[in-house]
Amino acid sequence: MKPIEAAQEILDTMLGYLGFVVRVEIDEQGGLEGLQVLTEEPKPLIGHRGERLDDLQYLLTRIVQARLPAAPRIRVDVDHYRSAAEHRFLEEADQVAAAVITSGQSQTLAPMNSYPRRTVHNHFANHPKILTWSPPDSARVKCITLMLRKPGGEAGGA
């Protein structure tokens, strides 16, 4: 059984035991496999600002990796909440990037958990003018700084 199929079965069983009426589908987005939970009551699964969804994703990944140690991290979304949020924060990051390009001054984005940070770093990975940076510490929530890329690909600006 593939890790994503195992994750689908585990998540469906787990949510069923918790009393949620859901349909769990395998969802390929941007070349990455994940799970999409479809339900009439998404709010209890999403929680405040997606915190419960993050916890659910973390728990599922840990269970799957305990059974299949080589399994990748499993992405979980509920009624496309994470996809919509991702679209919003990438739009905001693009606006900040435009301001950095115009002013030449580095700017810092609002604090984020690891998944949105990784998404922002990947979004700007091949950008010709913007470079991203976040502190290398082990904090769960960190800020990303957007700065101008020098012609050689290094950081510029202030």
**pLDDT tops 60 at residue 153:** no
Q: Which residue has the higher pLDDT, 38 or 139?
A: 38
Q: Residue 145 CB: number of other CB atoms within 10 A?
A: 18
Q: Which of 10, 65, 13, 5 is nearest to 34 (CA)?
A: 5
Please name the fold of domain 3-79. Answer: GMP Synthetase; Chain A, domain 3 (3.30.300)
Which pLDDT tens digit goes with each residue over 34-82? 999 999 999 999 999 888 999 999 999 999 999 999 999 899 999 999 8
Distances (CA, A) of 152 to 15, 43, 87, 148: 50, 46, 30, 11
The whole-angstrom separation of Cα 62 and Cα 157 is: 40
Which of 3-17, 75-89, 118-132, 140-154 is predicted least confidently?
140-154
pLDDT at 30: 62
Is the pTM for the entire model greater than 0.75? no
The number of angstroms, rounded, from the C-alpha of 87 to the middle of its chain's C-alpha atoms is: 11
Instruction: Please check whether residue 16 is in contact with residue 55, taking contact to mean a CB–CB distance below 8 angstroms.
Output: no
Top CATH class, 84-148: alpha beta
**pLDDT tops 70 at residue 154:** no
Could you tell me the residue ranges of all domains in the chain?
Answer: 3-79, 84-148
